[in-house]
Amino acid sequence: MKKRSLFTGLRIFGLVLGMSAMAINGYSSSHREAPLISNDPLADNTDLYAFRSPDDTNTVTIIANYIPFELPEGGPNWYTFSPNIRYEVHIKNKTSTTGDDITYRFTFAQTNQDGTTFFNVRLNKENLKTTYTCEKSTDGGVTFTTIYSGGIVPPPNIGPRSIEGNPVGLGAANYTSLITSAIHTASTGEKLFCGPADDPFFVDLAGAFDVGNFRPEGNTTNAPKDGLARFNVHSICIKVPISMLQKDGKNVSAAANILDGDFVIGVWASASRQQIKTLNASGTDAYSGSWVQVSRLGMPLTNEAVIPIGSKDRWNANTPYNNNDLQFAPFFNNPELALYMDNSQFGGAVPSMNGLRIQSKSLGTYDFRNGKPGLYPLKGNAAVAGTALDDAIFGTILLPNNTSPRAVDLLPIFYTGVPNLRPYQLATGKNGNPLAAGKPFINNFLPTLGDMLRLNMAVPVTPRNDPKFSSLGIVSAAVLGLTDPAYNANANLQFIPNMDGFPNGRRLEDDVTTIELQAVSGVALAAIGLWYDDYPVGGTNPVTPQLQNVLGFSAGVTKNDTTFKASFPYVQNPWRGYDYTLKSRF
């Protein structure tokens, strides 16, 4: 892949604070991210998405994916949701409560319609036929009410004889018709879909986990490869009216402005099993005992690459409530990935990341390498009064000590979301002072001190066919706010395309890998005015060679291997086992 143009690079520059915290989370989303869950794929959260629905903007769509690396031809026992697992989507919209404010619980059941055959589908009958019940709680999980039962899970997309064949198969018009018939409406108004889908995530897994040996340039013999291409997952998709998610029941039309903090929600997903499994001599099994969480996912990638291997299983077993996640804060204050972007550490050992370097003397003073002071020298200084760095506000978290440099840019989105407070605004309008007020572009602040994917539902939707729509999400919004005359003429709040993108929620199209790696490399710091080391004192153009090197970096795979749908459930049909061609999936 050739290096991007400077303008494309500036999109990444615009990521600022929000992408920075995401960056430390690593390379691929949570596919087989911890030792225990790698042996339990049916319970493994792979990805979580939350975005305002592009075709129905008064709603938000949440997609929780499970079961990594499903081979489309993986018969005779294709993967499906387990009847022995509780799959849950958790929503937080208040800071005054101690747990979930809304919980959706999905439980599944299976039947064999024809136990005399080894085929999954034969003669219009289906084996391992899966259905589900959806329950909802609005009291922190104390009580649940069934809002839909008997939900249909489409069968795997086996092949034309099984799906369209008649009389030997199901006799469906096509696979899309099975998806359409599996979209249900809950008694409380939500749209629901549970079933197999194309894995929407994309990343060069082989390069990423060979100690960051990305292949951004590629070559004829070793080009970057999407390690998730043509694999399927199982998706739980929920389309919810915004008024149902907003803490006071307000519709988005009641928002005070497009960054109204009262419209922020936090979302995470989990899977739980009962503690005891009994294997019987008859070849059956049984489960009993208390339910125990075995997997969770909020921010993408957290457990995959930031949490060290000795703590991964413990992370999966914890919830993001009651300050449980504070124990993992040190891994974010000094992220391991930063060591490979620092020439004084292991920077020279990973040539593919040579363009990624972290500020060691930003503005001639501030060192953000691991173990260095970062902005701690400003602790207690009158200059930080009234900013988020003030101890009276959040300074004790953002500037905890003189050896946690990335607490100032990586922690906020992980623990709280990004507030529309100084210094977390674009450098536009700051006149060279990073602590001054700048141009607002994100506010997904929900200070619950836990790992969640946070979304401000008041931010307008960028249409997918908008010429300024970008898979770089907030990156693109920030670059426009920094460089485009339509948005950088002043520091006033205004809608900038892609303000609705990652990390303000996460859209299916958002390219998190390239963005995150550049953010670990300090792009977020630069975006708020803490420029790279080669920015001259008194300079006026921050686009220095070092910044251009960072912006020119690409992780190689920057988009999904297929399209997304324009309407709910938005995820694409699963790949067909019989034939990998795109046409065969419909």
pLDDT in tens, the chain (586 residues): 334 443 334 333 333 333 333 333 333 456 888 788 888 999 999 999 999 999 999 999 999 999 999 999 998 889 999 999 999 999 999 999 999 999 999 999 999 999 999 999 999 999 999 999 999 999 999 999 999 999 999 999 999 999 999 999 999 999 999 999 999 999 999 999 999 999 999 998 888 888 888 887 655 568 888 999 999 999 999 999 999 999 999 999 999 999 999 999 999 999 999 999 999 999 999 999 999 999 999 988 767 767 778 988 888 899 999 999 999 989 889 989 899 999 999 999 998 899 999 999 999 999 999 999 999 999 999 999 999 999 999 999 999 999 999 999 888 877 889 899 999 999 999 999 999 999 999 999 999 989 999 999 999 999 999 999 998 888 788 888 888 999 999 999 999 999 999 999 999 999 888 888 888 898 888 889 899 999 998 888 787 899 888 878 888 898 999 999 999 999 999 999 998 655 455 5
Going by C-alpha positions, the residue among 465, 473, 467, 464 that lies closest to residue 513 is 473
CA distance 374 to 380: 14
Measure CA 393 to chain center: 27
Residue 513: predicted pLDDT: 85
Residue 219: predicted pLDDT: 56
CA distance 265 to 358: 32
Residue 523: predicted pLDDT: 84
Instruction: Judge contact between 579 and 159, C-beta under 8 A.
Output: yes
Within 314-404, strands assigned E span: none
Beta-carbon-side half-sphere exposure of residue 346 (alpha carbons within 13 Å)? 11
Residue 473 backbone class (left: φ over 0; alpha: ψ -120 to 50; beta: rest) = left
Q: Kindly give, in sequence order, each residue whose CB lies less than 8 Å from that of residue 210, ignoring residues fewer than 6 positions away.
A: none
Q: Kindly give, in sequence order, each residue whose CB lies less than 8 Å from that of residue 570, ignoring residues fewer than 6 positions away.
A: 61, 63, 237, 508, 564
Task: For residue 85, list its beta bridge partners.
Answer: 273
Domain ranges in the chain? 31-203+232-307
Residue 541: predicted pLDDT: 79
CA distance 406 to 530: 13
Task: For residue 214, list its beta bridge partners.
Answer: none
CA distance 239 to 237: 7
Going by C-alpha positions, the residue among 1, 3, 2, 27 that lies closest to residue 550 is 3
H or E element at residue 193? strand 191-198
For the CA atoms of 490, 494, 499, 504, the dihedral, rounded to the nearest 10 degrees, stands at 100
Phi, psi dihedral angles at 434 (to 5 degrees): -65, -20
CA distance 313 to 295: 8
CA distance 495 to 390: 28
CA distance 560 to 569: 16
Residue 267: predicted pLDDT: 98
Q: Which tokens sit at 281?
A: 């001599």
Residue 306: predicted pLDDT: 74
Residue 107: predicted pLDDT: 98
Residue 6: predicted pLDDT: 36
Q: Look at strands 453-456 and 264-279 and give their pairing.
A: antiparallel
Measure CA 330 to chain center: 21
CA distance 509 to 339: 29
Residue 98: predicted pLDDT: 94
Confidence (pTM): 0.92
| Beta-carbon count within 10 A of 524 CB | 32
Angle at 253 between CA 247 and CA 254, to 5 degrees: 50
Instruction: Judge contact between 497 and 527, C-beta under 8 A.
Output: no
Q: Look at strands 45-52 and 59-70 and give their pairing.
A: antiparallel
Q: Which tokens sit at 188?
A: 């409380």
Burial tier of 393 (Cβ tally within 10 Å: 0-12, 13-18, 19+): middle
Residue 8: predicted pLDDT: 38
Measure CA 182 to chain center: 25
Residue 509: predicted pLDDT: 95
Helix, strand, or coil here: 394? coil
DSSP letter, residue 69: E
DSSP letter, residue 439: B
CA distance 154 to 121: 12
